[in-house]
């Protein structure tokens, strides 16, 4: 981890420095655990109480928190973003020298830039194209005709089925499977007949895919993740799904086939989307929410009930089962009331 001064960090993060520009930073720590020589940050009000006692040499914080902290500060309206930029700079490591492990199996027709890194037991298929600065971790499998853009990285144990395309600076975490067959079957008198999955999977630039996430290829059209999409661990994206730019999807979300998700959306953990629906740009789905119809307007959408005592749930569920009968009764009462009011008039 390189040492940087507070002044250098201010330049890197585009923040306003209050205090000693020559203060040297050697590491990062939480606000309540930081010691001299470390950087900390405050971006949530519930941690403001830690400001008075922190031993951090520099704190990233918002302007409204500055009066409560007399020490060296990097002031910004977006402390979390500044922290991300500072942490990236402080955790930077030198890129290893280009190498191809002797146990890697590389098809002679593959086109590899001179500076790629290929780990132990990796398998590179026919006609694969790896651009400059690509890193392939140990035990990765890259199927025939895959294309990986500049500086993309596959962590250990990633599998790319044939014809997967990655843009520049994509990050695929361990165990992810990209381009597997979609769940497509025709029923022949109770017997399932597999439908060939003939489309591709295409990822844009700077897409990140979490560990053990699976993304299917298209059935006929391609499955597409646009620039800047971020997927957490254990997400499933089915065939023909389209995900717009800079949408972020948290862990354990399932997206059924041919769903279309707009730009700048967020989908919280354990939510589920049925197939063939569309989400507009800037739709934000709360955790564990089933999405069963189009969401055509931006905004936050929430469903299901939070946890409650079991006895209370049983009572409420008994009432839920009566809703249809109660609705019919209410309509009858409304009609009767309308008749009475008309007679009075």
Give the largest Cα separation in the chain, rounded.
Answer: 94
State the DSSP H helix or E strand holding residue 328, giving kind and residue range, or none if neither: helix 323-344
**141 to each of 69, 117, 123, 161, how far by Cα in Å?**
51, 14, 5, 8
Rounded CA-CA distance 317/325 in Å is 14
CA dihedral 115, 119, 124, 128 (to 10 degrees): -30
Query: What are 251's two structure tokens?
Result: 């862990």
Rounded CA-CA distance 326/225 in Å is 45
Query: What is the DSSP code (8-state) at residue 46?
Result: G
155 catalytic? Reply is no
Rounded CA-CA distance 236/175 in Å is 13
Please give the angle made by the CA atoms of 48, 53 and 55, to the nearest 5 degrees. 110
Contact 12/89 with Cβ under 8 angstroms?
yes
> How many of the other CB atoms lie within 10 Å of CB of 237?
29
Mapping DSSP to helix (H, G, I), strand (E, B) and coil, where does residue 88 land? helix
Please give the angle made by the CA atoms of 176, 257 and 166, to the nearest 5 degrees. 40
Rounded CA-CA distance 172/111 in Å is 20
Provide the β-strand partners of residue 202. 165, 224
User: Strand 266-267 vs strand 278-279: parallel, antiparallel, or unpaired?
Assistant: unpaired
Contact 121/100 with Cβ under 8 angstroms?
no
With CA atoms as reference, report the closest residue to 39 among 90, 92, 94, 93: 90
Instruction: Check 155, 239, 246, 284 and give the catalytic one.
Output: 239
Contact 211/226 with Cβ under 8 angstroms?
no
Residues marked active site are found at 239
């Amino acid at each position: 981890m390189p040492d940087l001064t507070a002044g250098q960090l201010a330049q890197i993060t585009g923040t306003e420095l209050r205090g000693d520009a020559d203060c040297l930073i050697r590491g990062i720590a939480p606000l309540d655990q930081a010691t001299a020589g470390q950087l900390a940050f405050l971006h949530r009000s519930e941690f403001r109480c830690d400001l008075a006692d922190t031993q951090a040499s520099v704190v990233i914080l918002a302007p409204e928190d500055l009066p409560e902290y007399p020490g060296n500060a990097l002031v910004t309206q977006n402390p979390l973003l500044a922290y991300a930029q500072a942490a990236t700079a402080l955790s930077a490591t030198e890129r290893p020298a280009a190498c191809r492990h002797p146990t890697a199996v590389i098809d002679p027709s593959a086109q590899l830039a001179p500076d790629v890194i290929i780990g132990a037991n990796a398998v590179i298929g026919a006609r694969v194209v790896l651009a400059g600065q690509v890193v392939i971790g140990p035990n990765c499998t890259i199927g025939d005709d895959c294309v990986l853009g500049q500086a993309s990285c596959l962590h250990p144990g990633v599998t790319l089925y044939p014809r997967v395309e990655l843009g520049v600076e994509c990050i695929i975490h361990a165990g992810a499977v990209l381009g597997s067959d979609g769940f497509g079957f025709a029923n022949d008198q109770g017997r399932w007949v597999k439908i060939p999955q003939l489309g591709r999977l295409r990822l844009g630039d700077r897409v990140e895919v979490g560990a053990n996430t699976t993304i299917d290829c298209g059935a006929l059209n391609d499955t597409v993740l646009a620039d800047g999409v971020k997927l957490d661990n254990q997400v499933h994206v089915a065939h023909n799904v389209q995900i717009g730019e800079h949408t972020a999807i948290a862990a354990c979300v399932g997206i059924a086939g041919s769903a279309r998700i707009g730009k700048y959306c967020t989908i919280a953990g354990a939510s589920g989307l049925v197939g063939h629906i569309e989400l507009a740009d800037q739709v934000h789905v709360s955790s564990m929410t089933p999405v069963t119809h189009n969401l055509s307007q931006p905004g936050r959408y929430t469903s299901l009930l939070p946890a409650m005592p079991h006895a209370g749930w049983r009572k409420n569920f008994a009432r839920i089962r009566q809703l249809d009968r109660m609705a019919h009764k209410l309509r009858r009462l409304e009609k009767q009331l309308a008749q009475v009011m008309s007679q009075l008039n």
